Homo-oligomer: A and B are copies of this chain.
Amino acid sequence: MMRHRERVLVAISGGKDSLALWDILLDLGYKADGVYLGLGIGDYSDASRIHAEKYAGQRGATLHVVDIPADHGFAIPDAARATKRVPCSACGLSKRHLLNRAALDGGYDVLATGHNLDDEAAVLFGNVMQWHVGYLARQRPVLPQTEGFARRVKPLIRLGERESAAYCVVKGIDYIVDECPMAAGNRHLRYKETLNEIEDRSPGAKAAFYFQFLEHMLPVLDGVAAAERDLVGTCTRCGAPSSADVCAFCKLVERVTA
């Protein structure tokens, strides 16, 4: 996923997974800075930023802050209203765009996120329920660097969310325990529940679902992934990789701030 001498940017939400990941990388001696993305979700964003900054301060680590309201003129709840879609949709695309930009602008070799097994299995479940074949082809623990994209890695995919929480408790890391209030009742959380019910009846089912996907299905999707990569051009406004003339983030900004 990454070499010891490489510069790593860790996406920090202030939650258990991202702080555990940052802690592990720092303990292992990686040159790992953090980046916190301010989403403008009221008290939740304020509290999560405090947790991120507090951890960075304790470790003497560098935390970059990208604040969407200050830098781009809208908050995630505004985006949800403007797009008439669930907030997680605008949030996800903003995160992908801005975290990648932060990694490139900062000259980092790799962008690391704290996605755990529960996250990845639930995303996979959602992609499978609707057979988003292009998304399936991209759902890899390591996405290599390509034109306009930093390398992206998910080092915690073998850990369940209870394990990263336990790690933080054991290490005394003070993370934000609350879930994002905008995510309540969303599909991703429902899919997590569904997978947990399946796991309760068939222990190991969740890991099998995700890891057998990596082993057996992803190789079959190599052609799809290559075809998708060939379609990626450049956003005429911001220069980010995009399969359309104007990338999804620039379209979102235009729509929300119109």
Residue ranges of A at the interface with B (Cβ–Cβ < 8 Å):
128-133, 187, 190, 194, 197-198, 201-202, 205, 208-209, 212-213, 215-217, 220-221, 223-224
Contact = CB atoms under 8 A, between A and B. Distances in A.
28 contacts: A128-B128, A128-B209, A129-B198, A129-B205, A129-B208, A129-B209, A130-B208, A130-B209, A130-B212, A131-B212, A131-B213, A131-B215, A131-B216, A131-B217, A132-B216, A133-B216, A133-B217, A133-B220, A187-B202, A190-B198, A190-B201, A194-B194, A194-B197, A194-B198, A220-B220, A220-B221, A220-B223, A220-B224
Of the listed residues A131, A133, A205, A220, the one surrounded by the most CB atoms of chain B closer than 10 A to its CB is A131
**Complex copy number for this chain:** 2
Q: Is the interface of A mostly helix, strand, loop or mixed?
A: helix
Nearest to A217: B131
A201 B216 CA distance: 30
Nearest to A131: B212
Contacts of A216: 131-133
Contacts of A212: 130-131
A161 to B, nearest CB: 20
A178 to B, nearest CB: 24
A193 to B, nearest CB: 9
A179 to B, nearest CB: 19
A152 B197 CA distance: 35
Contacts of A133: 216-217, 220
Nearest to A191: B198
Nearest to A210: B131
A137 to B, nearest CB: 9
Given A128-B128, A220-B224, 17 more contacts: A129-B198, A129-B208, A129-B209, A130-B208, A130-B209, A131-B213, A131-B215, A131-B216, A132-B216, A133-B216, A133-B220, A187-B202, A194-B194, A194-B197, A194-B198, A220-B220, A220-B223
Contacts of A129: 198, 205, 208-209
Nearest to A193: B197
